Amino acid sequence: EQCDLNHHVSDLILIVYILSFNLQQLLKANRYLIRTQDVAQLRCCSEKFSAPFRLYEHIYDLSLFLFNDILVISRRSISNKPFEWSSKITHQFLEVVALHQLFVEDIPESKYIKNAFLLQGPRLRLICSTEEADKFPWLSVLQRAIICSPEEGGLIF
């Protein structure tokens, strides 16, 4: 019961998030949230080197919201105020990608990059990194959602 309650609370938080960004067009009767994942967005600083020797820098914190037919991407900011116990987390909407248009590729680990993967869509190319324990479960769920997603046009809005 507690797990179901947490799931419903996270769905409600996401709906409030969507409404706060005036993204009501993302709300659909047959659309449901599968999973969320916090990642670090990386930028390659040394494209001229071969893959194992490339250097990467952390540029943003992102939140990925995986639905049954789309992936919603937002930039996450965490701020702390003195003498307050909790942090304030804010999201800035970045992109929505239909799953059937999303390409996902694992990035092999090297001395300079760990737990990374590439997300690529029509207007999107992100190098992301997550915690070690989260990478393969996230990629597995994401790949399964892509395979099962409908390929009809106009599904996003």
Residue 79 has pLDDT above 60, yes or no: yes
Q: For residues 125 and 119, what is the distance between their CA atoms, to the nearest angstrom?
A: 6
End-to-end CA distance of the chain: 33
- pLDDT for residue 49: 74
Does the pLDDT at position 20 exceed 60? Answer: no
Return the C-alpha torsion angle 75, 80, 81, 82, nearest 10.
-160
Q: What pLDDT, in 10s, does the model give residues 35-67?
A: 999 999 999 887 777 777 778 888 999 999 999
Task: Note the pLDDT of residue 157.
Answer: 41
Q: Which one is predicted more confidently, 83 or 145? A: 145
